[in-house]
Chain A
Amino acid sequence: MQIRLEHLTKRFPNRNKKIKEDVIAVNDFDLTLPDGKLIGLLGPSGCGKSTALNLICGLLEPSSGRIFFDDDDVTSIPAERRGVGLVFQSYALYPHLTVERNIRYPLENLKGDKKLTKEQMKEKVLQAAKLVQIDELLERKPNELSGGQQQRVAIARALVKTPRVLLLDEPLSNLDARLRLQTREEIRRIQKETGITTIFVTHDQDEAMSISDTIIVMNAGVIQQVDKPQDVYDNPVNLFVAKFLGTPAINVFDGKVEDGVLYIGKDAVLKLSGIGNRPVKVGIRPEGFNPEENGPFVCDLDRVEVMCRDISVVSRHEGSETDIIRSIITSEHAKKMKGEKVRFSLKPEKVHIFDKETGERLYFETV
């Protein structure tokens, strides 16, 4: 099912009562989410992504704008009749009910012609339990389950009534690191098997990058970029997106463009066309540095860190926004790392230039 948001906006009164201005948690969302895909809603904490999720599932009413599921306008339909499945960050399993009763609960609430017989319910519960591989645990109470198991029950409960859309709010944040990797594959598998349009909210870029078909990056209530994961990484539309995605993080420098040459500090690092003379922000991905004996970009070498396959060079430069620059190089270059200075040439496709004030991407061609 396709979800269409039209100018969706949610304002809250400011918690600090002295400030009259509302907080805008979701600002003018206008997009269409493709049918049957796994969509990651990514952003730093407090950016309004959970609010967006709650608007879609109907727990919050938008201040303005509309929500469509396919062609149905569901904006004013309350959560209990919207037919969505939601998995909470805390799982919110009903503590007094067994796993089976938990999963069956949404079915018991169906009314009218959707009402199911006992046998049908049993069948559906078992089906959902098998899908998430907890059919052995049906008689247990939630407090007798591990975090991972609780998570699966929550997903089964959300799936059992075959929702039009499945929403997951930070589904992995309460799991330990190993389980997190496993579970995200699981979510991917379940989504592919059921084909239900799924939106999951996360602040963890790895999570979003690894399993989503599409990523929505948002910040401060505003959508920054909607794209395939690799495209968002390779082609960030602004400085925020560039900084938010990628580990190690992108290196940001103050620079300027003068007569077709990009300067960082005194170093003329790149020749380019398409940007006029102006001060800019320069973002360089860690893998964008090539150590080269006569490279134009001269940094003070701090140390070399070896982490498994990667060799990470830590250096300093006066133009850098942060104290250190981190670059990742291949091992054959490692022996060149001697002395006090290190010189790099830059891979142009890993260099992104942004407006110094607005952070908007400035596109260029290499010469």
Chain B
Amino acid sequence: MAVQKQNDYETKAERIKAKVGRIFVYFGLFLWALIVLFPFYWMLLSSVKSYAAYNGEFTPKFFTLSPTMQNYLDAFTSVPLGRYLLNTFIFTVLTTGLMLIVIIFAAFAFARLDFKGKDIVFTLFLSLMMIPNELVVITNFVTITNAGLRNTFAGLILPSVTSVFYIYLLRENFAQVPDDIYYAAKVDGTSDFRYLFKMLIPICRPTLVTIIILKVIECWNSYVWPRLITDDQNYFLVSNGIQEIRENGFGRENVPAMMAAVVIISLPLIVLFLIFRKKIMAGVARGGTKG
């Protein structure tokens, strides 16, 4: 009996301790959530304040009673934000699409076909993964400039339609599909090409979705290369657009209008994320690295 009682006592103390601990944990998690969310809240809030109201607040208010959509109108009319968005959309779709074609074929060759020197080629290929983009960007800049492709979509897109890492990722996935499936498809009358499209691609769809997600995020946010290769506003992507807006859009210090532009630019990916939350998070965790 005595032992029993002591146990009770211990669990009670432990229970209190655990409860206090949990409160701390929740508090900490809540605090970080606040830090993450606050900038988003702030940009939304500022974007619906009028120019006058915003600049009149020496101490910023945490809410507004007279929201206005004027800033969103301004964002589309006084700077070519629509153009930036369209450019980015075109850039993202074309880059991702072209990249998929290139990497699917390459991954297929490495995973399924047998050819002379395959091992050595693949090893060389993998070693390219170590090369940072910063190292090659200089020559690429010169190449594209000399080819007269500055301020064109071709110039924007071409250097980023291959990714050694994605080819590697896809090849690993292709190679995981059992040989028997390949042989079965052969016996059932399939050519290599048809096997790729009828079997491998559908079976490896999760990996392809991962790659598409990662590439779309990368494209939507790309800044450095577009900045180097475009100086004509007609070819600016959103990142360059926002920088342009900051430096000389809207006249001086029209923060609410800037914030409206920021909201518009951030929205597509956030909406995409909220819809495909599980897929995207699983994809990023699988995909490993960013960029």
A-to-B contact residues, CB < 8 Å: 57-59, 78-82, 84-86, 88-97, 105-106, 109-110, 157-158, 161
Contacts and interface: CB of A to CB of B under 8 A. Distances in A.
29 contacts: A58-B186, A59-B183, A78-B186, A79-B186, A79-B187, A80-B186, A80-B190, A81-B189, A82-B187, A86-B184, A89-B180, A90-B180, A91-B180, A92-B183, A93-B184, A94-B181, A94-B184, A94-B199, A95-B181, A96-B199, A96-B205, A105-B185, A106-B187, A106-B189, A109-B188, A109-B190, A109-B194, A110-B189, A157-B184
Contact of A59 (B178, B186, B190, B199): B186
Contacts of A57: 187
B186 A157 contact: no
B180 A109 contact: no
A93 B202 CA distance: 14
**Residue among A84, A85, A88 with the most chain B CB within 10 A?**
A88
Contacts of A89: 180
A92 B180 contact: yes
B183 to A, nearest CB: 5
A79 B181 contact: no
Contacts of A94: 181, 184-185, 199, 203
List the 6 closest pairs (A to B, CB-CB), nearest first. A109-B189, A92-B180, A92-B184, A106-B188, A96-B202, A79-B186
Nearest to A157: B188
Contact of A80 (B180, B187, B198, B202): B187
Nearest to A82: B187
A70 to B, nearest CB: 19
Given A79-B183, A94-B203, A96-B203, 20 more contacts: A59-B183, A78-B186, A79-B187, A80-B190, A82-B187, A86-B187, A91-B180, A92-B178, A92-B180, A94-B185, A96-B202, A105-B188, A105-B198, A106-B188, A106-B189, A109-B188, A109-B190, A110-B189, A157-B184, A158-B187
- From DSSP, what is the main secondary structure of chain B's interface residues? helix
B199 A86 contact: no
- From DSSP, what is the main secondary structure of chain A's interface residues? loop
B68 interface: no
Contacts of A157: 184, 188
A85 B203 contact: no
B175 to A, nearest CB: 15
Contacts of A80: 186-191
A105 B190 CA distance: 9
Contact of B181 (A92, A106, A110): A92
Nearest to B203: A96
B58 to A, nearest CB: 62
A79 B183 CA distance: 9
B40 to A, nearest CB: 38
A137 B180 CA distance: 23
A92 B181 CA distance: 5
Contacts of B186: 58-59, 78-80
Contacts of A105: 185, 188, 198
Contacts of B190: 80, 109
Contacts of A85: 187
A334 B205 CA distance: 67
Contacts of B187: 57-59, 79-80, 82, 84-86, 106, 158
Nearest to B182: A92
A126 B177 CA distance: 28
Contacts of A161: 188-189
Contacts of A93: 184
Given A92-B178, A95-B203, A96-B202, A86 B189 contact: no
A199 B246 CA distance: 76
Contact of A88 (B180, B198, B199): B180
Interface in B187-224: 187-191, 194, 198-199, 202-203, 205
Contacts of B180: 88-92
Nearest to B187: A86
B178 A86 contact: no
A89 B180 CA distance: 9
B202 A88 contact: no
Interface in B146-197: 178, 180-181, 183-191, 194
A91 B187 CA distance: 13
Given A96-B203, A109-B190, A86 B181 contact: no
A92 B179 CA distance: 9
A85 B189 CA distance: 10
Contacts of B191: 80
Contacts of B188: 80, 105-106, 109, 157, 161
Nearest to B183: A59
B196 to A, nearest CB: 14
B184 A88 contact: yes
Contacts of B198: 105
A82 B181 CA distance: 18
Contacts of B199: 94, 96
A82 B178 CA distance: 22
A85 B198 CA distance: 19
A189 B144 CA distance: 69
A96 B180 CA distance: 15
**Residue among A78, A93, A105, A110 with the most chain B CB within 10 A?**
A105
A157 B190 CA distance: 14
Contacts of A88: 180, 183-184
A86 B190 CA distance: 14
A109 B194 CA distance: 9
B76 to A, nearest CB: 43
Nearest to B204: A96
A161 B191 CA distance: 17
A59 B184 CA distance: 10
B182 to A, nearest CB: 8
B187 to A, nearest CB: 4
A90 B189 contact: no
